[in-house]
Chain A
Amino acid sequence: MDYATLIQVLDSALRLATPLLLACLAGLFSERGGIFDIGLEGKMLMAGMASGAVAFLTGLVWLGVGAAIGASILFSMIHGLASITFRGNQLISGVALNFLASGMTVLIAQALFRQGGRTPPLTGNARFSPIDLPFAEAMADVPIIGPLYAEVLSGHSTLVYVALLAVPVTWWVLYRTRFGLRLRAVGENPESVDTAGISVVRLRYSALVITGILCGLAGAYMATALQAGFGREMTAGRGYIALAALIFAKWRPWYALGATFLFGFLQALALRPDVIERSFGMAIPVPALDALPYILTVIVLAGFVGKAIPPRAGGQPYVKER
């Protein structure tokens, strides 16, 4: 693989990794708080539809992002209501929300625009345009790191940088703030948090709000930055890949960046069968590459590469002892 091709693949990988990264961090907050969330996919779909619709109606992409976050938080709260307040099964609630989102997005978009569950194409300010990072042009001629900065890092839409920034912020919130400490505790041992006089329910709801915000950004990124509008089922299973990445990352923020970028890179590589053939001297079937993220996750789960231990209280509704 020559350097120019590598740059192109990395560029593509970053774009493909961004929605995964946002969704993965979203899942990280809720699972660290002890709420399993299968419904990332559904929240992203809702967010994509809301952002596409509102951005088209108002002509302003940021309003679209706001709507995306709102729609996604709404779904998060339904999940919270079912699994925190009513102590229902978190997996079932998540799956139900995915089904609901799959049908509802098409229904709403169809009722609004009559274009078959699609939102109309966005143009101009209704859509994110790529931004150039400072000095991108001046740096482009510097060997090796120049193209890396100018081509790979620069020239993406704002949400890509928001996603990258979300990683250190997540790390800081989780490991350096009081909220983060309590959130981690509530996922491991909610009784101790409760004993300390802190509300388990409120903590878990706040975790789900953050999950909603991040999923909202992921959906908005797909509908208004990568694409020019929402299309039926456009997330195409990315919510599930993000869950796999979360396990692969062992529920840690920096690992999440690594895992999602690796998955994005594998996806980008799968788009270039010619490159694979040239680099490895043989053709690897594209489906094999597509399956690789899942295979890697299974390997990690099976305990071959360290241990992936989920938050201990995950999946269990908290019942105060009488």
Chain B
Amino acid sequence: MTLMKTFLGAAATLALGAGAALADPALIYDLGGKFDKSFNEAAYGGAMRWVEETGGSYKELEMQSEAQREQALSRLAESGANPIVMTGFAFGDVLNSVAPEYPDTKFVIIDMVVDQPNVRSIVFTEEQGSYLVGMMAAKASKTGTVGFIGGMDIPLIRKFACGYVQGVKAANPDAVIVQNMTGTTPSAWNDPVKGSELTKAQISQGADVIYAAAGGTGIGVLQTAADEGILSIGVDSNQNHLHPGKVLTSMVKRVDNAVYESFMAGEAVEPGIAVMDLAAGGVGFAMDDNNAELVSEEMKAAVDEAAAKIIAGEISVHDYMSDNTCPVE
């Protein structure tokens, strides 16, 4: 019995010691869920890459409701995780109040700027990536009408829409763009049925290429677009493989890189604002075997040229969030 106690005690000490010596990074997924085939899944991909390369381990948490955010952050910070990476704009307010309570912990927030001395804010220039896929949409469209379906109606999604519209207009000034938002509550990220109906509604208005920036709702959009024989554009992760030959391209947002780099930097992650733009490889469009036949040489050349111009600063794509307006409709 005493021997057993000693063993148990030793094991416990070891376990505690291991916990204290190694500060594991942590990753919190937003409401869309870890495997949304989109934004959060990209974050997961980055974490997995880090695990494969370093053999380290990390903690992770999936949000189930709005009310959990503060608790999740505090609990991870108290457990000694460092840095704590969270995906999603919705953490902004909560992080702003939690971060000062744990000055020794580094936080990384993706898609939102939080001005605290121990927070690194990573933002993407979605408008640039959306601009490029907008150009492709305009060039691939035969009807001259293209569609956009957003998830929850928030400035970030309007930023996608605005960049997309600018790209479409750049390639075809006469193009008509049909825009819809799925809803105004977080359930708008997980309503594929409504996504399908929006797709059908846009098709009836003549749209033949539809860009979905809507998390899980986008799955319904891509599905219906494939069923009805029109093209769709995926978002965040490369979604070309979901319906090979039916998805024109995907606007990829390298959330995986953001997570991977933050994990790599570990506790030494640098506070401040990091902008992942086209030049930094933060955004772009996905090309692979699944969409090779859909994208013509001419289309690719035009988009590559525009990308080069954006990087060189010759084309400036308006950012909706800078003034909450969009210059084109």
Contact = CB atoms under 8 A, between A and B. Distances in A.
Interface stretch (B75-83, B90-98, B114-122, B216-224): B216-224
Contacts of B37: 116, 118
Contacts of B200: 8, 12
Contacts of B180: 271, 273
A236 B35 contact: no
A227 B196 contact: yes
B33 A236 contact: no
A194 interface: no
Interface in A1-52: 5, 8, 12, 15-16, 19
A118 B192 CA distance: 12
B204 A117 contact: no
A115 B38 CA distance: 12
Interface in A165-196: none
A274 B177 CA distance: 12
User: B37, B197, B198, B220: which has the most chain A beta carbons within 10 Å?
Assistant: B197
Contacts of B33: 106, 116-117, 232
B173 to A, nearest CB: 20
Nearest to A4: B204
A273 B202 CA distance: 11
Contacts of B41: 116
Given A227-B193, A234-B192, A118 B183 contact: no
A301 to B, nearest CB: 22
B42 interface: no
Contacts of B187: 233, 236-237
B230 to A, nearest CB: 15
A272 interface: yes
Given A117-B33, A228-B223, A232-B216, A12 B197 contact: yes
Contact of A236 (B36, B194, B196, B219): B194
B204 A236 contact: no
Given A226-B196, A271-B201, A236 B223 contact: no
A272 B197 contact: no
Interface residues of B, number: 30
Nearest to A290: B183
B71 interface: no
A266 to B, nearest CB: 13
B190 A274 contact: no
A222 B193 CA distance: 7
Interface string B166-203: 00000000000010110110010011111011101100
A286 interface: yes
B205 interface: yes
B183 A227 contact: no
Contacts, number: 80
A118 B200 CA distance: 23
Contacts of A222: 193
A233 B34 CA distance: 14
A12 B201 CA distance: 8
A103 B41 CA distance: 19
User: A106, A222, A234: which has the most chain B beta carbons within 10 Å?
Assistant: A234
A234 B201 contact: no
Nearest to B202: A271
Nearest to A286: B181
Given A12-B197, A228-B223, A234 B191 contact: yes
Interface in A42-101: none
B183 A231 contact: no
Contact of B192 (A8, A227, A271, A274): A227
Contacts of A226: 193, 196
Given A116-B37, A231-B216, A271 B184 contact: no
Interface in B11-59: 33-37, 41
B35 A116 contact: yes
Contacts of B198: 271
A192 to B, nearest CB: 42
B242 interface: yes
Interface in A277-311: 286-287, 290
B181 A236 contact: no
A272 B207 CA distance: 13
Contacts of A116: 33-37, 41
B79 to A, nearest CB: 22
Given A15-B197, A227-B223, A286-B181, A236 B242 contact: no
A213 interface: no
Contact of B184 (A8, A12, A267, A290): A290
B193 A234 contact: yes
User: A103, A115, A286: which has the most chain B beta carbons within 10 Å?
Assistant: A286
A33 to B, nearest CB: 29
B190 A233 contact: yes
Nearest to B205: A274
A268 interface: yes
B152 to A, nearest CB: 11
A103 B64 CA distance: 9
Contacts of A121: 223, 242
17 contacts: A16-B197, A102-B64, A116-B34, A116-B35, A116-B36, A118-B35, A118-B37, A231-B216, A232-B190, A232-B216, A233-B190, A237-B187, A267-B194, A268-B201, A271-B180, A286-B183, A287-B183
Given A227-B193, A231-B216, 8 more contacts: A16-B193, A19-B193, A106-B33, A118-B35, A226-B193, A231-B190, A231-B220, A287-B184
- Chain A to chain B: the 7 pairs with minimum beta-carbon distance, closest first: A116-B35, A236-B191, A271-B201, A233-B190, A8-B204, A236-B187, A287-B184
